[in-house]
Amino acid sequence: MNLTAVAAIYKFEMARTFRTLAQSIVSPVLSTALYFIVFGTAIGSRIEQVEGVSYGAFIVPGLIMLTVLTQSIANASFGIYFPKFIGTIYELLSAPASFLEITAGYVLAAATKALMIGLIILATAYFFVELTIAHPIWMIVFLVLTCLSFSLFGFIIGIWAKNFEQLQLIPLLAVTPLVFLGGAFYSVSMLPPAWQGITMFNPVLYLVSGFRWSFFGMADVPVGWSIVAIFGFLIACLAAIAWIFRTGWRLRA
Amino acid sequence: MTAILSVDRLTKTYAGGFTALDDVSLDIREGEILALLGPNGAGKTTLISTVCGITQATSGHVTVGGHDTITAYRAAREMIGLVPQEINLEPFEKVINTVRFSRGLFGRPRDDAYLEKILRQLSLWDKKDEPIRSLSGGMKRRVLIAKALSHEPRVLFLDEPSAGVDVELRRDMWAVVRQLQEDGVTIILTTHYIEEAETMADRIAVINGGRILLVEEKAALMRRMGRKEMRIELKEPVTRIPSALADFGLTLEAEGTRLVYSYDRQASRTGIVRLLSALQETGLTVADVETRQSSLEEIFVGLVTERQSA
Ligand SMILES: Nc1ncnc2c1ncn2[C@@H]1O[C@H](COP(=O)(O)OP(=O)(O)OP(=O)(O)O)[C@@H](O)[C@H]1O
Ligand SMILES: [Mg+2]
């Protein structure tokens, strides 16, 4: 196991994060604050309570998920796309490191950054609403697993993408809608029955639901399903990455 | 000497169907400097990329230090340093950080003293904290060399290391390469400066159209292929070659003041003595006589064009 290589990639990527720290953190914090103002204050004044939780607090887990998902994907996809784009990928391909080690370096760095931002947003939320977290350990477990699995997903997108447009495409076209429709800002029980059925096919629902359960002890779907869903997604991404490195798809000519 | 790198019947056909390497076999000896020469598109970079794991071979095998580059890729790749032809570097990164990254990527523990040594050797030490985008082209190429050396490779590929490097720095670089050879590193060098191959290489390999045309000791190659010329400078110009010298196939140059005689040094009779005595009989006054050997460049051009027209 070439752990030195994992550490080298991780440090290199984290150095980039800290070099651009201000822009990495300011924009998610700012947009979260805007969400609180628009959703929490404006809409919250009409909805007030969802299943016994104030609306402002209710949207916190969904907001964190939204940011963490987009951040994980953006960080990891850029992390591996950039070396492809500028040509430094030659070094990764010729290094005595396995696909697992290279992936681990990039994905851990991307997940770390997303996790940091997720926690900062949680801290920001305390300024706007009153929060108590029912299951803090589970909250962290969900958060970490989400960061990891979506960083893996982002890594795949970064390898797949042939240009910057493609790099933006999946997050824009798939992830953001799935998060919004996955109950980030409402309880599924508030939807008409037909829509409730359709929503059950949205994988992000299981994440948001499980994460919200760790905050308030209530969920749209049983929390066990959420755990199964997130591990299923993690394993699917790992399998895809193993295949990519074995075949050299989009990496080796 | 034993082969440290062994290429066995390597073929590479790109996805588009183009065969860039066609059944290439090549043994590289430990500690030698091998110059890989060939025109643009000959397959030099493809050969290097396939050995290093950047492109996948269609068929054939490569071993480095006895380790197969596919089945024992870790052991094989640890031994290899690669300076790519294209300048591929992270523009915003500091020099020292990217070199440190390379060392870590190849599984070596941090060693700042060693990195300082190579950065000093490459005259980059005072640039170590600069972001790469602020460096000149020649400096960037030296950063690539520093990265390749960062993990103390046993085999170093230099894919056109001197492109865009000025004369003085090129000599510095040659000194670095020589030093590496003294330390026991095997070096495979591609270059379009034949002079570079001529000064540096122990052996020359010529590749064209994805096939190795020859691999030979440089000295032997130059002896074998190199025609020698004797140039006879005359005091007074002549308008035509005197009939007494008609048998020697001379050419008249420099407005009739120079006679040039080409001969084969390997031949049992070079004909020099006969020519000189015949010359004496013509009564011409000789100002100077010099001999010169055709350069590797002439040999190379002859070889490549000959095969192309064949
Ligand atoms: N990724 C690729 N896909 C398809 N064809 C390629 C690819 N890379 C190289 N080739 C082709 O393979 C041939 C050999 O290219 P290569 O880069 O190995 O040449 P080279 O000897 O290094 O040339 P140069 O002196 O210009 O660097 C060329 O005809 C080139 O067009
Ligand atoms: Mg080339």
Domains in chain A, number? 1
Weakest-pLDDT range from A127-136, B149-158, B286-295, B301-310: B301-310
Tens of pLDDT along B81-128?
A: 999 999 999 999 999 999 999 999 999 999 999 999 999 999 999 999
Residue B309: its pLDDT value, please? 59
DSSP A200: T
Which one of B14, B48, B159, B206 would you pick to mutate in the ligand 1 pocket, going by the greatest count of ligand atoms within 8 A of its CB? Answer: B14
**Partners of residue A6 in chain B, C-beta under 8 Å:** none
Q: Please, which pLDDT band fits residue B308 given cuts at 50, 70 and 90?
A: low
Band of residue B247 on the pLDDT scale cut at 50, 70, 90: confident
* CATH-assigned architecture of domain B3-223: 3-Layer(aba) Sandwich (3.40)
Q: Is the pLDDT of residue B293 over 80?
A: no
In terms of C-beta density within 10 A (0-12 exposed, 13-18 middle, 19 or more buried), how is residue B252 classed?
middle
Ligand 1, residue B192: give the atom nearest the CA.
25
Q: What is the pLDDT of residues B42-52, one digit of tens each?
A: 999 999 999 99
Tell me if A253 is assigned to some domain. Answer: no
pLDDT of residue B310: 52
Rounded mean pLDDT of B141-148?
A: 95
Best of A4, A94, A106 to disrupt the B interface by mutation (most B CBs within 10 Å)?
A94
CB contact under 8 A, A86 and B53: no
Alpha helix (H) residue ranges in chain A: 3-19, 21-35, 44-47, 55-86, 89-93, 99-128, 136-160, 164-170, 176-181, 193-199, 203-216, 223-247
pTM of the predicted model as reported, rounded to 2 decimal places: 0.86
Per the CB < 8 A criterion, the answer to whether A204 and A116 are in contact is: no
Cα B84 to ligand 2 centroid, rounded to whole Å = 9
Pocket of ligand 1 (CB under 6 A): A 253; B 14, 16, 18, 20, 38, 40-46, 85
Contact yes or no for B75/B60 (Cβ under 8 A):
no
In tens digits, what is the pLDDT along chain A, a chain of 253 residues? 899 999 999 999 999 888 888 887 888 888 888 888 887 777 767 777 777 888 888 889 999 999 999 999 999 999 999 999 999 999 999 999 998 899 999 999 999 999 999 999 999 888 888 888 999 999 999 999 999 999 999 999 999 999 999 998 888 888 888 888 888 888 888 888 888 888 888 888 999 999 999 999 988 889 999 999 999 999 999 999 989 888 888 888 7
pLDDT at B307 over 70: no
Higher pLDDT, B251 or B116: B116
**pLDDT over threshold 60, residue B234:** yes
Return the CATH architecture of domain B227-293: 2-Layer Sandwich (3.30)
Task: Report if residue A252 sits inside a domain.
Answer: no
**Per-residue model confidence (pLDDT) at position A130:** 86
Amino acid at A220: D
Annotated domain spans of chain B: 3-223, 227-293
The two structure tokens encoding residue B252: 């008249």
Mean pLDDT of chain B: 90
The residues near A197 (Cβ < 8 Å, ≥ 6 apart) are none
The mean per-residue pLDDT over the stretch B233-245 comes to 89
Band (B197; pLDDT cuts 50, 70, 90): confident
- ipTM of the prediction: 0.89
Asked if residue A29 is part of any domain, the answer here is yes
Give the pLDDT of residue B226: 65
Beta bridge partners of B156: B81, B187
Q: Ligand 1: which atom is nearest the Cα of residue B43?
A: 18
Mean pLDDT of B254-276: 84
Structural domain containing residue A230: 3-247
Distance from CA of A242 to the nearest CA of B (A): 16
**Joined tokens for residue A25:** 């953190």
**Cβ neighbours, 10 Å, residue A157:** 24
